[in-house]
Amino acid sequence: MKTVVLKFGGTSVGNIDRIKKVCKIIATYKKKKYNVVVISSAMSGVTNDLVNKSKSLSNSFDLAEYDALLSTGEQVSCALIAGRLNHIGLKSRSWLSWQLPIVTEGNHSGARINKININELNRYIKNGGIPVVTGFQGINKNYRITTIGRSGSDATAIMLAKYIKAEECIIFTDVEGVYTTDPRQHKKAKKIKKIFYDEMLEMASLGSKVMQPTSIQDAKLNEIDIKVQSSFASKSGTLITNSKKSFSDQIITGISSTKNDAKITIVGVKDRPGVAASIFKPLSKNLINVDMVVQNISQNGKNTDLTFTIKSEDLKKTENLIKENKSISYKKLSFDKNVSKVSIIGVGMITTPGITYRMFQALASKKINILVISTSEIKISVLVSAKHVKKAIASLHKEFKLD
């Protein structure tokens, strides 16, 4: 008998009526003679409410207790789902992470799954039961509850699919799949039927909110195919895979954009070996992620201008760290919060010449100035003024025949 892992996001279990709908979906897979394992997030809004409660008590809430607090959201939703499944005549029970256990390593609020004990789970499945497992959490070597970070339920579903050797892992959410770009930014966005892991990983890291990059990475490393589809509409979703079967010859698969970037430029830095490291070391120690980097050397070779991007919420801290940095000297420091990164992604660009020209020409035709450029084998990112993002997406979507 085939086994399927069904993961439901917070919006899918957001209220009692939606939980009833979820249970009908689970029942259809059981009727198709599948072994079914369910992973559930907390009901939408619950985790945010718990976070706010912790903040109202302390600005430095103990991280171990923070994880213990946030993990309760999934306990509620899983118990409700299992209770409803029993009501409609299906054998089911909820499983908390420590009851398997799901063993994690790493820091609280950012742990990673190390291993999962599936012995009891498998016995329950073979006896016809439907286990409903809490997502987003595990237990460490000190027997403390840990959380895997926001959207960690996807990672739990993927790793469980690996351990129980499931044929399918389906992520149910509030959208019908992965789109060529954000439909809220461009009305002509269309659903992607199949997408490679690497493309999805780039899209997730560049602004797509459908799945977290760590979950996609876990799926790729463990060769777990993922389907993303809506729990509200009976339509086919998007398959995330490495299989080359039935892929189209589309050069560019999707376009992503970000909203909260900031650009820092340090003008007239005295150039010497290690100066860039001196600038970025304090940022690294303060967990500030640096993204796009451009360095221009003056003609005399003595000075350099360094431009890089960070998240806008880190701007003030970054500015202070640079000003306090005694190991560098410079003439001017400037920054711009009104910028956004727009990226085209597709494995087809590896073997197709002229993609860079087409992208730049499409933007130029709309009088959109490019501030910074960053590339990899399967993506090109440009930094533009935030006011031009929608126009840039529309232009590129049309240029690469994604409309």
CATH of the domain at 390: 3.30.2130.10
pLDDT at 107: 92
Half-sphere exposure of 344 (CA within 13 A, CB side): 28
Q: Could you tell me which of 363, 311, 319 has the C-alpha nearest to residue 337? A: 311
Distance, CA of 6 to CA of 16 (rounded, Å): 18
Token pair of 60, please?
Answer: 């430095």
Distance, CA of 30 to CA of 34 (rounded, Å): 5
Count the neighbouring beta carbons within 10 Å of the beta carbon of residue 144: 17
Q: Which ranges in 32-181 belong to alpha helices (H)? A: 46-57, 63-70, 72-87, 119-126, 152-163
Q: Could you tell me which of 336, 403, 347, 333 has the C-alpha nearest to residue 369? A: 336
Residues 160 and 281 reside in one and the same domain: no
Count the neighbouring beta carbons within 10 Å of the beta carbon of residue 263: 23
Total structural domains in the chain?
Answer: 2
Token pair of 113, please?
Answer: 């799954």
**Residue appearing with tokens 């430095």:** 60
pLDDT at 373: 93
297 burial via Cβ count (<10 Å: 0-12, 13-18, 19+): exposed
Residues 272 and 154 reside in one and the same domain: no
Residues 157 and 262 reside in one and the same domain: no
Distance, CA of 251 to CA of 265 (rounded, Å): 34
Residues 146 and 271 reside in one and the same domain: no
CATH code of the domain in which 113 resides: 3.40.1160.10
- Spatial CB neighbours of 194, under 8 Å, sequence gap ≥ 6: 238, 239, 240, 241, 246, 247
Low-confidence ranges of the chain (pLDDT < 50): none
pLDDT at 150: 66
Give the phi and the psi of residue 2 in degrees, each rounded to 5. Answer: -70, 150
Q: Could you tell me which of 330, 345, 331, 68 has the C-alpha nearest to residue 206? A: 345
Answer whether residue 136 is part of any domain: yes
Tell how strand 332-345 and strand 254-257 pair up. Answer: antiparallel
Q: Quote the domain boundaries for residue 156.
A: 3-174
Answer whether residue 234 is part of any domain: no
Answer whether residue 288 is part of any domain: yes
Residues 49 and 170 reside in one and the same domain: yes
pLDDT at 311: 92
Answer whether residue 207 is part of any domain: no
Answer whether residue 311 is part of any domain: yes
pTM: 0.82
The C-alpha torsion from 397 through 199 and 106 to 310, rounded to 10°, is -40
Q: Could you tell me which of 385, 398, 380 has the C-alpha nearest to residue 256? A: 380
- C-beta separation of 239 from 227 below 8 A: yes
Residues 15 and 149 reside in one and the same domain: yes
Answer whether residue 240 is part of any domain: no
CA distances from 119 to 124, 154, 157, 163, 270 (A): 9, 22, 17, 10, 62
Domain boundary among 117, 145, 174: 174
Answer whether residue 198 is part of any domain: no
By three-state DSSP, how is residue 315 classified? helix
Domain boundary among 159, 174, 189: 174
Residues 135 and 14 reside in one and the same domain: yes
Q: What distance lies between CA 131 and its chain's CA centroid?
A: 26
- SS3 percent helix, strand, coil of the chain, rounded to 5, is 35, 25, 35
Domain boundary among 174, 192, 216: 174
pLDDT at 299: 67
What's the one-letter identity of residue 182?
Answer: D
By three-state DSSP, how is residue 244 classified? coil
Residues 21 and 151 reside in one and the same domain: yes
pLDDT at 234: 83
Give the phi and the psi of residue 251 in degrees, each rounded to 5. Answer: -75, -50
Answer whether residue 94 is part of any domain: yes
Give the phi and the psi of residue 73 in degrees, each rounded to 5. Answer: -60, -45
